[in-house]
Structure 1
Amino acid sequence: MENRVEGLHHLAISTTDIKKQIEFFTDKLGMELIALYWMHGAKETWHGFLRMNDESSVAFVQSPKIASIPASMGATHAGNPTAPSAGGTTQHIALKVKDMDVLAVMQQRLRSKGVPVLGPVDHGFCQSIYFAGPEGLALELSCSEKPIEPEKWIDPDVVGRAGISADELVRYRNPPRFVPPVHPVDQPGPDAPGPHMTNYPPGIYEKLIALSDKEVWDASESAPPVKDEL
Structure 2
Amino acid sequence: MIKIEKFHHVAYRCKDAKETVEWYKAHLNMDLTLAIAENEVPSTKAPDPYMHIFLDAGMGNVLAFFELPNSPDMDRDQNTPTWVQHIALKVENFDALVSAKESLESKGVDVLGPVNHGVFKSIYFFDPNGHRLELAADVGTPEQYKQLKAVAHDMIEEWSQTKRAPRHAAWLHELDE
Aligned counterpart for 2:108 among listed residues 103, 111, 114: 114
Question: How far does residue 63 in structure 1 lie from its aligned partner after superposition?
Answer: 2.0
Aligned-pair identity (%): 31
1:156-193 Cα offsets, whole Å, 9 max, x none, are 465323249xxxxxxxxxxxxxxxxxxxxxxxxxxxxx
8 and 70 in structure 1: CA distance in 2 versus 1, 3 angstrom threshold: closer
Aligned to 1:128: 122
Instruction: Kindly report structure 1 stretches of 4+ aligned residues shifted beyond 6 Å.
Output: none
1:106-148 Cα offsets, whole Å, 9 max, x none, are 1111100000111112211211111111222111011224563
Aligned to 2:75: 71
CA distance in 2, matches of 1:93, 1:78: 14
Aligned counterpart for 1:93 among listed residues 83, 87, 91: 87
Aligned 8 A contact 1:78 1:92 in 2: no
Aligned 8 A contact 1:78 1:138 in 2: no
Secondary structure, in 3 states, of the residue corresponding to 2:33?
strand
CA distance in 2, matches of 1:134, 1:78: 18
State TM-score, norm by structure 1.
0.57
Q: How many residues align?
A: 152
CA distance in 1, matches of 2:114, 2:6: 25
1:185-227 Cα offsets, whole Å, 9 max, x none, are xxxxxxxxxxxxxxxxxxxxxxxxxxxxxxxxxxxxxxxxxxx
Q: Which runs of 5+ in 2 are unaligned?
A: 163-177
CA distance in 2, matches of 1:130, 1:110: 10
Question: How far does residue 95 in structure 1 lie from its aligned partner after superposition?
Answer: 0.9
Secondary structure, in 3 states, of the residue corresponding to 2:65?
strand
- Select the structure with the greater relative contact order (CA < 8 A; seq sep ≥ 6): 2
Question: How far does residue 4 in structure 1 lie from its aligned partner after superposition?
Answer: 2.2
135 and 124 in structure 1: CA distance in 2 versus 1, 3 angstrom threshold: same
State TM-score, norm by structure 2.
0.72
4 and 24 in structure 1: CA distance in 2 versus 1, 3 angstrom threshold: same
Aligned to 1:11: 10
Question: How far does residue 54 in structure 1 lie from its aligned partner after superposition?
Answer: 4.4
1:35-84 Cα offsets, whole Å, 9 max, x none, are 12215727521111110124211101112233x15514634x643x25xx
Aligned to 1:52: 57
Letter in 2 for 1:138: R
45 and 29 in structure 1: CA distance in 2 versus 1, 3 angstrom threshold: same
63 and 130 in structure 1: CA distance in 2 versus 1, 3 angstrom threshold: same
Aligned 8 A contact 1:33 1:51 in 2: yes
60 and 151 in structure 1: CA distance in 2 versus 1, 3 angstrom threshold: closer
CA distance in 1, matches of 2:106, 2:150: 37
50 and 153 in structure 1: CA distance in 2 versus 1, 3 angstrom threshold: farther
CA distance in 2, matches of 1:120, 1:50: 25
Aligned to 2:32: 33
Root-mean-square deviation (Å): 2.8
